[in-house]
Chains A and B, each alone.
Chain A
Amino acid sequence: MTTAVQVKKLTMVQAVTDAMRTMLEEDESVLVLGEDVGINGGVFRATDGLIGQFGEDRVIDTPLAESGIVGTSIGLAVNGFRPIVEMQFLGFIYPAFNQLMTHATRMRQRSMGRFTVPMVVRAPYGAGVKAPEIHSDSVEALFTHIPGLKVVVPSNAYDAKGLLIASIEDPDPVLFLEPMRSYRSSRTEVPEEKYSIELGKAAYVKKGHDVTVLTWGAMVSDTVKAVEKYEEKYEATCDVIDLRTLYPLDKDVIAESVRKTGRAVIVHEAPSAGGVNGDVISVINDTAFFYLKAPIQKVTGFDTPVPVYSLEREYLPSSDKIIHAINMTLSY
């Protein structure tokens, strides 16, 4: 006899809450900390209801101090807890950068494994929701550059729950980036039970033959739309790959797809310079160089600050640009 898996349709932000609730229920050592995460349930409601269920000893409204939150979480994590820290917005993580860079991510090596920091830092990020300045920064590459930190970005509710549970269970620090634009833009079926999705594994969003399009976060749905438009008009078809973990990258899936298609386009909304596109290109060089039929194309934000909202649509990679890049690689 099989028991039917209970599923419900959730938005991504609800799935994030669901993952935290699941882990708070299962593991006494899991804590949620951050600004406004308690009574208010977080400014995006990602922690809604948790304080009611688990109390203020486990869902903690902290003082307004990012370095303080991350720094004390390092101490909590080293000493037996599993903190899930909420940064109100990724653009406000900069005061905590020092703690992440100089301590959270090096503790294991500095103590040769004696002290470890099993901690998750969650942060909403990305442009396209008309937020005030600084709120929309897409600076994932600052963090993929920190040795000792995993960087995870879901693009839908199902992945968000599975990846967040895996991040909480991970024995090392994880930065979990939540694309604000995707928080409530769609619903996916999410099992009520606990499940996890292995970190470091990309997913095929759709399969094709001629071009590999690699992306993550909120750009996944934009990319799929652009690719669908493209495929309606032209002969060729695309693999669309959601990288899901930006460090470490899934080199197997990237290699498999690019070896098949011989062509690659990378789409991300962050600035190009020093961006994750460089790491993806490096993986392709290492694993699929001799299969390439054209130079790799990239479609990114500009090397400029994310603009205030009157111009943010202009900043985000458009359908036209994605289609243009696919054409470029095919017509090479």
Chain B
Amino acid sequence: MLERFPITQYINEEGELVRQDIKEGLSLDLIKIFYEKMLRARMMDKKCVNLQRQGRIGTYVQYEGQEAAQVGSALAIEEGDWMFPSYRDHAATMTFGHSLRNLLLYWVGRIEGGIPPEGKNIFPPAVPIASQLLHATGAAWAEKKKNTDRVSLVYFGDGATSEGDFHEGLNFASVFKAPVVFFNQNNGYAISVPTEKQMNSKTIAQKGLGYDIPSIRIDGNDILAVFMETQKAVERARSGEGPTLIEAVTWRYGAHTTADDPSKYRDQSESDRRRTTTDPLLRLERYLKQQNSWDEEWLASIEQKITDEINTALAEMDDVPEAEIEQLFNHVFEKPTWTIEQQREHHMSIKRGQV
């Protein structure tokens, strides 16, 4: 299976273009956009980890190391398409247009955090594992029924492929030829469980075989491979050819969440090694250097721009008034039931000390 599903790469770890056929169309501007988007994601992630350590936000789920997989794939869809993230995929959602303010609000436990900007079809992050694959399939199926060329892009981890919902999602998409791209980030671990203990199969891509879904394995730290191959899958979906399964092989540098201690189950020196080898940002830096296009001033200027953007979002987060108690009771139904009305009344009167 490893031979059948080789890992596709466009730019290798040394920053060399290994796919000469794309050289023509490859512009430095595009590479710089990729770099900037990944840097933005990384800086935001680091900020969030720090905020958690300072107690300013709650438990946080980091994605450092997975920027290429998330940013590259998110750039391959367009406005009007659908995105279905899990709890780890905020690099994807922020690239697709989710506001940094709401991203922060999500992690301070605010309902507003899950709300995408007007016009953007981004689902609130799925917390139960693999459940979102079916939603993505359903939404894509709806687009097909409505005769549009809109597609769904759905994110999930390696552990998610063990759940029934993963298999049901693939099967439905295959049966109904739904225009959905199943984007797996194989980061090697589901919390503490390494992929070899999660599954006996050597690849995740091969799981598509059982459903007759075209499946590929790509270097998830190579943003060019991620972008180009996701784009192809998106095009297939748009043109009515049905779903694709993409396994992006990557690595999370840090803990599963800020509440987890990875030293219990893995040697963190592997992360240190990868920061100097497979790192998605470093790879583009190397590429740009080889093209004599690396520019420290440019880097400083985009860093400044991103810092400003993050600081603005932080200020917005701090400015948000406390959550309104009413939020508890609103939006459970379109029209609250009498029980909810009664509970709201009772709760508020006790709070006001009126009884």
A in complex with B? yes
* Chain A residues at the B interface, C-beta cutoff of 8 Å: 35-36, 38-41, 43, 61, 63-68, 91-92, 94-95, 130-135, 272-273, 302-305, 307-312, 314-315, 318, 320-321, 324
Contact B108 A324 (CB under 8 A): no
How far, in Å, is A284 (CB) from chain B's closest CB? 21
Evaluate contact between B162 and A64: CB separation under 8 angstroms.
yes
- Whether A64 contacts B160 by the Cβ 8 Å rule is yes
Q: Are A130 and B58 in contact (CB under 8 A)?
A: yes
**What are 9 A-B interface contacts by the 8 Å CB criterion?**
A38-B192, A39-B265, A94-B128, A95-B164, A131-B59, A302-B328, A304-B329, A308-B110, A311-B323
In the complex, the answer to whether A318 meets B350 with C-beta atoms within 8 Å is yes
Cβ contacts under 8 Å, A311 to chain B: 109, 323, 325, 327-328
Cα A323 to Cα B167 in complex, Å, equals 51
Q: Could you tell me if B339 and A315 are in contact, using CB atoms closer than 8 angstroms?
A: no
Q: How large is the interface on B (under 10, 10 to 19, 20 to 34, 35 or more residues)?
A: 35 or more
Q: In the complex the two chains form, is A40's CB within 8 Å of B264's CB?
A: yes
Which A residues touch B343, using CB under 8 A?
A: 272, 302-304
A135 touching B127, Cβ below 8 Å: yes
Q: Does B303 contact A (CB under 8 A)?
A: no
With A40-B264, A41-B264: A324-B191 Cβ-Cβ less than 8 Å: no
Decide if B228 is an interface residue (CB 8 Å cutoff): no
Taking a contact as CB atoms closer than 8 A, the residue among B109, B129, B163 that contacts A308 in the complex is B109
Determine if B129 and A64 form an interchain contact, defined as CB atoms under 8 angstroms apart.
yes
Which of A36, A91, A272 has a CB less than 8 Å from the CB of B191?
Answer: A36
Determine how close the nearest CB of chain B comes to the CB of A328; give it in whole angstroms.
9
Task: Quote the shortest CB–CB distance from B215 to chain A (angstroms).
Answer: 20
Report A-chain residues with C-beta under 8 Å of the C-beta of B162: 63-65, 68
CB distance from B178 to the nearest CB of A (A): 22
- CB of B212 within 8 Å of the partner chain: no
Residue from the list B164, B322, B340 in contact with A302, Cβ < 8 A: B340
| Set of chain A residues within 8 Å of B260, measured between Cβ atoms | 43
CA distance A65 to B343 in the complex (A): 36
Residues of A within 8 Å of B344, CB to CB, are 302
Complex Cα spacing A305 to B124, Å: 15
Q: Is B193 an interface residue (CB 8 A)?
A: yes
Nearest 8 A-B pairs (CB), nearest first?
A: A309-B109, A40-B192, A63-B162, A64-B159, A310-B109, A310-B323, A308-B109, A65-B162
Chain B contacts of A91 at CB under 8 A? 128
B250 to chain A, nearest CB (A): 18
Question: Quick check: B328 and A307 within 8 Å, CB to CB?
Answer: yes
Query: For residue B128, which residues in chain A have a CB less than 8 angstroms away from its CB?
Result: 91-92, 94-95, 134
- A61 near B197 (CB under 8 angstroms)? yes
CA distance A175 to B327 in the complex (A): 32
In-complex Cβ contact of B58 among A41, A61, A305, A309 (8 A):
A309
B26 at the interface (CB under 8 A from A): no
Within 8 A of A (CB), among B303-355: 322-323, 325, 327-329, 332, 337, 339-340, 343-344, 347, 350-351, 355
CA distance A39 to B197 in the complex (A): 12
Taking the complex as formed, is B198 at the interface, i.e. its CB lies under 8 A from any CB of chain A?
yes
> A64 contacts which of B110, B163, B322, B339 (Cβ < 8 Å)?
B163
**Chain A residues, Cβ within 8 Å of B108:** 310
Q: Is the CB of A307 within 8 A of B59?
A: no
Neighbouring A residues of B163 by C-beta, 8 Å? 64-67, 95
**Chain B: CB-nearest residue to A308:** B109
Contact A310 B193 (CB under 8 A): no
Instruction: Report chain B residues within 8 Å CB of A40.
Output: 191-192, 264-265
The complex places the Cα of A38 from the Cα of B165 at a distance, in Å, of: 24
Interchain CA distance A315-B328 in the complex, whole Å? 8
**Do A130 and B59 touch across chains, with their CB atoms under 8 A apart?**
yes
Contacts of A94 in B (CB 8 A): 128
Instruction: Note all chain B residues with C-beta closer than 8 A to A304.
Output: 328-329, 332, 340, 343
Chain A: which residue is nearest B264 at the CB level? A40
Contact between B327 and A324 (Cβ–Cβ < 8 Å)? no
Contacts of B111 in A (CB 8 A): 307-308
* Contact between chains at B59 and A132 (CB < 8 Å): yes
Q: A64-B159, A65-B162, A95-B163 are in contact. Are A35 and B193 (CB under 8 A)?
A: yes
Given contacts A135-B127, A309-B109, whether A302 and B192 have CB atoms under 8 Å apart is no
CA distance A314 to B109 in the complex (A): 13
Partner of B164, one of A41, A65, A133, A312: A65
The smallest C-beta distance from A228 to any residue of chain B, in angstroms, reads 19
Name the distance in Å between A98's Cβ and chain B's nearest Cβ. 9
C-alpha gap A40/B355 in the complex (Å): 49
Contact across chains for B350 and A321 when beta carbons are under 8 A apart = yes
Q: Please, which residue of chain B has its CB at the minimum distance from the CB of A315?
A: B328
Which residues of B are found within 8 Å of A273, using beta-carbon distances? Answer: 339
Name the residue of chain A whose CB is nearest to the CB of B257: A132
Q: Are A64 and B193 in contact (CB under 8 A)?
A: yes
| Cα A273 to Cα B343 with chains together (Å) | 11
Q: Are B332 and A303 in contact (CB under 8 A)?
A: yes
